[in-house]
Chain A
Amino acid sequence: GIQVEQSPPDLILQEGANSTLRCNFSDSVNNLQWFHQNPWGQLINLFYIPSGTKQNGRLSATTVATERYSLLYISSSQTTDSGVYFCAVLLVSGSARQLTFGSGTQLTVLP
């Protein structure tokens, strides 16, 4: 099956710093999503980005499908950005839909 690798596994930042999270995947995919899992366990949709660049406030994401990677940028980090960031890739075949997750990046933002 498809492999999804995220790096770094852990990241500790001072409030106000910028960061880049990376997601590599092993095969062509139909789509890619970024999620933030907050400390209460809730999964929050950040980006739905099969290719190109999107921005939402302090966050932006870029997916280069031909090179099989995606980047999530967090600027001016805040303590509320803490949590786990997951990348997930989607394969579609007929009625079948398989979303495969990476192992996540644990982000801690210190005040």
Chain B
Amino acid sequence: DAGITQSPRHKVTETGTPVTLRCHQTENHRYMYWYRQDPGHGLRLIHYSYGVKDTDKGEVSDGYSVSRSKTEDFLLTLESATSSQTSVYFCAISRDNSYEQYFGPGTRLTVT
């Protein structure tokens, strides 16, 4: 158990509304990641962070922003949610002495 929690676990929202998902870790690892999972696809990287205020884009970053003001929290924001952002969102961490990634339980987001 890598001590990762995600909140909320489920959310239904309307098109055009802002949404923020939170990832919290208890072990103070430097690297944190946000992925999305859609049917027919494996997970795809949205953004990642390699330290407080240090973030970078992944493969599918359009329409998403992130922030990391504390080591333990990594926030993913959809500024104006669209139906194409309906997905399951996973947060992950990797320990400082390893590249291995560990995943949180996921957040199911539905945009209507």
Q: Which residues of A contact B (CB under 8 A)?
A: 1, 4, 30-31, 33, 35, 41-43, 45, 48, 86, 88, 90, 92, 95-104
Contacts and interface: CB of A to CB of B under 8 A. Distances in A.
Contacts of B33: 97, 99
Given A41-B106, A103-B42, A95 B99 contact: no
26 contacts: A1-B59, A30-B99, A31-B100, A33-B101, A35-B103, A41-B88, A41-B105, A41-B106, A42-B106, A43-B43, A48-B98, A86-B42, A88-B43, A92-B99, A97-B50, A97-B94, A97-B99, A98-B58, A98-B59, A99-B33, A101-B41, A101-B43, A101-B44, A102-B42, A103-B40, A103-B41
Contacts of B100: 31, 33, 45, 48
B39 to A, nearest CB: 10
A1 B60 CA distance: 13
Interface in B64-112: 88, 90, 92, 94, 98-103, 105-106
A4 B101 CA distance: 17
Contact of B42 (A30, A45, A48, A88): A88
Of all A-B residue pairs in the complex, the 6 with the closest CB atoms, nearest first, are A101-B42, A43-B103, A48-B100, A95-B50, A31-B99, A101-B43
Nearest to A6: B42
Contacts of A1: 59
B14 interface: no
Contacts of A42: 103, 105-106
Main secondary structure of the interface of A (DSSP, over half): strand
Contacts, number: 60
Contact of A45 (B50, B54, B59, B102): B102
Nearest to B101: A99
A99 B42 CA distance: 11
